[in-house]
Amino acid sequence: MSTRTSIHGAWSGRLAFILAATGSAVGLGNIWKFPYITGENGGGAFVLIYLICIACIGIPIMMAEVMLGRRGRQSPINTMQALAEEASASPYWKYLGWSGVVAGLLILSYYSVIAGWALAYVFRTASGVFTNVTGDGASSLFGRFIADPEKLLAWHTLFMVMTMAVVARGVKGGLEKAVRFLMPTLFVILIILLGYAMNLGEFSRGVAFLFNPDFSKISADGVLSAMGHAFFTLSLGMGAIMVYGSYLPANVSIAKTSIIIAVMDTLVALVAGLIIFPIVFANGLEPGAGPGLIFQTLPIAFGHMPGGEFFGTLFFVLLVFAAWTSSISLIEPAVAWLVENRGHTRVYAAVVMGIVTWSLGLLTVLSFNLWSDFKPLSGISVFENSTLFDLLDYLTANIMLPIGGLLIAIFVSRIMTSDITMRELNIQDSQHAGYRTWQFLTKYIAPAAVVIVFLKVTGIFDITVIFNAILG
Ligand code: PFF
């Protein structure tokens, strides 16, 4: 094990790390994004590719990130610099840390706006506006809400202040305690909603939509979205899990904890899908409705079920908390770096990074109203209808995170010695089957998958040629 220690403190133990990392992983990505991008990409085939990416790319890269963080014990930028030095590799590896910091701030800039929607919906649900609402009613309420930039800005501001407040205090004090209570409660509410969805009559259509793969419905870009989402939902490729790993006690098993986190994250996403699609079909809504999907569907469920005001309010409260425990991990790499390299206090660092992110968030706020017709890359066919928000999402989730993940996989499998990686994974025998699998996945499969998908999307390389060759 490395003998470094982190100047920022440490988690109190394995459970605290699991909760914090699960808190980072489980967020808007699972409950808001997974259902709507699944809807946009035609369902089952997308879900299957996403699940394969989680297992073959996500889990090995999560192990890699935790390992790098725990060995480096610093912000991702300084960790990459220290570990590159240790391996006598190029100092340019620190730019991998930099790209993570930038990706984190870009993601948080739009993440906070959507979390603001969830905050607004806490109060809307509590006030009873959704009682007996119809599908059209819920859609028009949502449409009017996002058309108002001042409202979106106010909620975005509130959410950024909440994020800054926690990060300023340090992760351990408030957060560790909060997630311990919140994550289980979120699970319970999801199960209650699942019970509601199961009784809707359209449950089997929802199940079929999620689990019957129809590959004719998926494009190369859909495959890229599935892979990008695997990184996004597990918080990989930008140093969030790395920075959390840097606070991890030395004796915790990296493989086991990574698998637990990935499984919990996947379960939450699938349950969210099983709740939302039956409601979509039962109310004649469009699965491809886009980012507003859960805000247009769930209010219908809450508006009709007994105790809906209560459960609905609780649900959006929990969604806010899920987003909150993710947003702090999005900004933590930048904050840790400012503290380490510039000697600022956490409070100062959190405020500076918060203001930068808040300002960037204006681009997303305006994308839904005043600038909704501004499609800067409309000349390129995949971006024909993309607003600034869509482009930010695409750039981070589909490009920056997979490239970050690719480089992380290369670093642990080709730059670090197996001596060190075996020690960090607590493996004595280099022929250990689990270790060999991990090495194979990080050395060949994960990098190849990312490269092939990129080539395919850019049209340089046609993967169907390989499929056809294999299938005869
Ligand atoms: N994993 C979070 C979610 O699914 O909502 C989003 C996220 C957090 C992405 C942290 C990336 C990250 F580093």
Kindly give the parts of the chain with pLDDT less than 70.
1-3, 171-175, 177-178, 460-472
Q: For ligand 1, what atom is nearest to the CA of residue 327?
A: 8
Q: Cα of 395 to ligand 1 centre, how many Å?
A: 14
Name all residues whose Cβ lies below 6 A of ligand 1: 24-25, 27-30, 104, 107, 232-233, 235, 238, 240, 326, 329-330
Cβ atoms 94, 77 nearer than 8 A? yes
Residue 302: the pLDDT is 87
Q: For ligand 1, what atom is nearest to the CA of residue 28?
A: 5
Cβ atoms 75, 337 nearer than 8 A? yes
Residue 285: the pLDDT is 86
Cβ atoms 228, 59 nearer than 8 A? no
Q: For ligand 1, what atom is nearest to the CA of residue 104?
A: 13
Instruction: Kindly write down the DSSP assignment for every residue of 288-336, as one continuous string.
Output: T-GGGHHHHHHHHHHHHSTTHHHHHHHHHHHHHHHHHHHHHHHHHHHHH
Q: Cα of 330 to ligand 1 centre, how many Å?
A: 7
pLDDT tens, position by position, 168-204: 887 666 667 667 777 788 888 889 889 989 998 899 9
Give the closest residue (by CA) to ligand 1 atom 12.
235
Q: Cα of 115 to ligand 1 centre, how many Å?
A: 12
pLDDT tens, position by position, 241-281: 999 999 898 889 999 999 999 999 999 999 999 999 999 99
Q: For ligand 1, what atom is nearest to the CA of residue 326?
A: 8
Among 30, 50, 105, 107, say which to mutate for ligand 1: greatest number of ligand atoms within 8 Å of CB.
107
Residue 460: the pLDDT is 67
Question: Which residue type, as a one-letter code, is found at position 63?
Answer: M
Residue 12: the pLDDT is 80
Cβ atoms 274, 197 nearer than 8 A? yes
Q: Cα of 457 to ligand 1 centre, how many Å?
A: 23
Give the closest residue (by CA) to ligand 1 atom 13.
235
Q: Cα of 113 to ligand 1 centre, how many Å?
A: 14
Helix (H) or strand (E) holding 24: helix 14-25
Q: Cα of 472 to ligand 1 centre, how many Å?
A: 40
Rounded Cα–Cα distance for residues 67 and 69 (Å)? 5
Question: Which residue type, as a one-letter code, is found at position 225?
Answer: S
Residues contacting 460, CB < 8 A, separation 6+: none
